[in-house]
Structure 1
């Protein structure tokens, strides 16, 4: 592990994933970090150029510990199909290897909200991971809450209610509830910005250092928008008018309930309805920019063009938006 006041070597799980590839690209672009992609033995995942590679066997904790030795930080991005014990194994191996900083598999709506944790059970492990990291006595976490990914979610009809192909739009309630969401690029910039901060304060600036975020949930966003505002962007990008679309409304609470029932039988559309509609309840839990504040300004993150992000979502909708 580096004795510098800056993180030099960063281990990354999920470097070839949808979000992970943007984070790795942003980290490497700083020129301040060496990144090691931690990947399963036999994995054929395409990895970003410029990373080192360490193969591990999740059934052999010693291989993970060995791969993490000498690293200053570990970033974990795991897909929904990853075995539920993988993150715990990574945390325990990181502690054994002496990795001090962990950015766990967060990158989601506000899992520091007890209301969301109660209503979306799959978020429970995120809180448990934070507690496990802190209990190691060796590692500290920085959990990055980003909201749902904009270009991923807008492309999925069951998510934000927009179906590009069939030109239908479903508003939850009146479509006027605000929720915070982030693009993959913004998430990448936020990760790189955070992990490029000095560990301890320099020059009396106590905010711009990792110690300020130790064992905390940190918030970042691209847009805090209503469905109606997203739909306005969709109309601009597609060059269509409202009259070209079939528009409907559905009570958010009812949509959440029917989605919850459907997911019990393994319906992934029902799962998406449950998951996304909950952040549009009128209790404001989806709007963390207003309720919790973000580190956008502190990290110097740019103000993005929502239409450019909508264009990427439209393009994704033409292929497999779930992929």
Structure 2
């Protein structure tokens, strides 16, 4: 598509995003995105929820309840929205997102942030081996085929707090018994992002101008990410880096921990077999272990670069976030 400029648009064109709808504003990532959007004060934010939802929603949201089995309620809720942000669990039925995307097209929503929130699925091996890439690409293709909306996907790596402080099936840490499973030698670095950083990235993205004013305007715009990916990160860190941080935060030493090593590719293969046998934890282990392959799969910073500076994202402190991750895990919040 040829570069468009705001000066050439018809009368009434609005070169900013004002109205934003969020599906899943009471969920893990959705909560932080909604909070940052409201905090910025530049958007009118609508939370789209089910009638029977009991999720606690952030303050400052307009709430609209919809019936996903009645598409007209979705279309009505999305009319007049400049952007739609979809945040749902990976276990959500695939047809739910399809219904939302189709409703957004019918309502004429220009921008859709798809339900991706993770690793770089432009890597075909990762897309295949994590069993998620095909599903994500199909959603992008659907959005484009409907011809009414453009998609943007946020590549943020794994969520740091959630992955470190939660189940050992994720980053291998078990804080209850002070044990750690290192994948290979534990030195493979991958990108991670905090929920707060993801929220800031989305809010700052949709605070940009939609189009450059004219050919001389070189400021960042939403349109530069049309049908494309935004790459962000809080940290580039290995398991060993995280463990060093854990030791500093907890005041423990390596001798206080039980450490074992596991071949990451064998861990992946075993996880696939466990999933085939009906053990859903196998999916978690295959997802995490695959991204820790020593082939750069989890280091999108090296392969694609980052948009942190474009979006004005702050530097974060690893030890501070490690402390928060451990505390959240102890409280059962992960």
What is the match of residue 79 of structure 1? Answer: 89
What is the match of residue 91 of structure 1? Answer: 101
Q: Secondary structure at the match of 1:121?
A: coil
What is the match of residue 291 of structure 2? Answer: 279
Shift of 1:268: 3.0
- Distance in 2 (CA, whole Å) between partners of 1:251 and 1:207 is 46
Correspondence 1:62 to 2:81: no
Shift of 1:207: 5.3
- Distance in 2 (CA, whole Å) between partners of 1:302 and 1:160 is 24
Number of matched pairs = 321
* Residues 163-219 of structure 1: CA deviation (Å, up to 9, x unaligned): 111101111011111101100010000000111100001373445001111000111
Aligned 1:156-175 pairs, distance under 5 A: 156-175=167-186
Shift of 1:321: 5.2
What is the match of residue 6 of structure 2? Answer: none
What is the match of residue 187 of structure 1? Answer: 198
Asked if the contact 1:112–1:217 (Cα under 8 Å) also holds between the matched residues in 2, the reply is no
- Distance in 1 (CA, whole Å) between partners of 2:272 and 2:243 is 25
For structure 2, which runs of at least 5 residues remain unmatched after alignment? 1-11
* Residues 81-137 of structure 1: CA deviation (Å, up to 9, x unaligned): 322211111110000001000001011111111011111113321111111111111
Superposition TM-score, scaled by structure 2 size = 0.93
Shift of 1:317: 2.0
- Distance in 1 (CA, whole Å) between partners of 2:238 and 2:35 is 30
Aligned 1:294-309 pairs, distance under 5 A: 294-309=306-321
Q: Secondary structure at the match of 1:74?
A: strand
Aligned 1:108-257 pairs, distance under 5 A: 108-155=118-165, 156-202=167-213, 204-206=216-218, 208-257=220-269
Shift of 1:44: 1.5
* Residues 119-163 of structure 1: CA deviation (Å, up to 9, x unaligned): 111332111111111111110011111111000000121111111
For structure 1, which runs of at least 5 residues remain unmatched after alignment? none
What is the match of residue 323 of structure 2? Answer: 311
- Aligned alpha-carbon RMSD (Å): 1.3
Q: 1:44/1:252 Cα in 2 relative to 1: closer, same or farther (>3 Å)?
A: same
- Distance in 2 (CA, whole Å) between partners of 1:147 and 1:134 is 24
What is the match of residue 6 of structure 1? Answer: 16
Q: Secondary structure at the match of 1:217?
A: strand
Asked if the contact 1:27–1:33 (Cα under 8 Å) also holds between the matched residues in 2, the reply is yes
Superposition TM-score, scaled by structure 1 size = 0.96
- Distance in 2 (CA, whole Å) between partners of 1:87 and 1:138 is 16
What is the match of residue 29 of structure 1? Answer: 39
